[in-house]
Amino acid sequence: MKTTCFPAVSEWIFPETVLPDSLAEMAADGLVGNEGVVLWLGHKGQGRTEVTHLVALRGQEITKLPDFLRIESSLINDVTDIAIDLGVSLVGQIHSHGRWYGTDLSVTDITYGFAVPFYLSVVAPDYALRSATSWKDCGVHVFEPGSGYRRLNIEEIRRRIRVVSGNKAPLLKVGEER
């Protein structure tokens, strides 16, 4: 019997509050002209990934600049410990770019970002300052084994991103407040 740590994902399931809550978290950084980021934790199985928790990163172990984000490995270790305790895993993230960077992944995002099969990497426009931003306004990218990140087109976003009402994904704050 063959098993894999990274089963294929054809659909991502998000509580309806995930995108607006992620945008609101990142907008605090956008107001001062910096990129922001929110990590997503969840469950994988049967071709689906369900996002269950949002993670806001705090403290000296994260650097947020107008065109750059850096997360120290020790902060990722803290996120991993929380994920293990919750019985979930890191399944994706959203980060923001300024007006002039667009919603494609940057060379830095591709070179130094998470390179995990079927990891979802979303880029929100305008430093996440437009609360009405929708999934189709974002760059939605999936890391595909053997080829790297690929941006989903509008039809794929419609088909593969499912937003459900009811559950709210809590926002967890990881790292020490400055």
Q: Which domain holds residue 56?
A: 11-171
The answer to whether position 112 is within a domain reads yes
Listed residue (159, 162, 116) closest to 8, CA to CA: 116
16-26 tens-digit pLDDT: 999 999 999 99
5-41 tens-digit pLDDT: 778 899 999 999 999 999 999 999 999 999 999 999 9
The answer to whether position 4 is within a domain reads no
The answer to whether position 31 is within a domain reads yes
The answer to whether position 3 is within a domain reads no
What 3 state SS string does the chain have? CCCCCCCCCCEEEEECCHHHHHHHHHHHHHCCCCCCEEEEEEEEECCEEEEEEEEEECCCCEEEECCEEEECHHHHHHHHHHHHHHCCEEEEEEEECCCCCCCCCCHHHHHHCCCCCCCEEEEECHHHCCCCCCHHHCEEEEEECCCEEEECCHHHHHHHEEEECCCCCCEEEECCCC
The CATH code of the domain that includes 31 is: 3.40.140.10
pTM (2 decimals)? 0.94
The answer to whether position 178 is within a domain reads no
Q: How many domains does the chain have?
A: 1
The answer to whether position 120 is within a domain reads yes
pLDDT over 90, % of the chain: 90
Whole-angstrom distance, CA of residue 63 vs CA of residue 42? 25
Q: What is the mean predicted confidence (pLDDT) over 105-130?
A: 95
Burial state string for 121-136 with b = 16 or more CB within 10 A and e = fewer than 16: bbbbbbbbbeeebebe
71-113 tens-digit pLDDT: 999 999 999 999 999 999 999 999 999 987 799 999 999 999 9
The answer to whether position 6 is within a domain reads no
Pair type for strands 48-57 and 62-65: unpaired
The answer to whether position 103 is within a domain reads yes
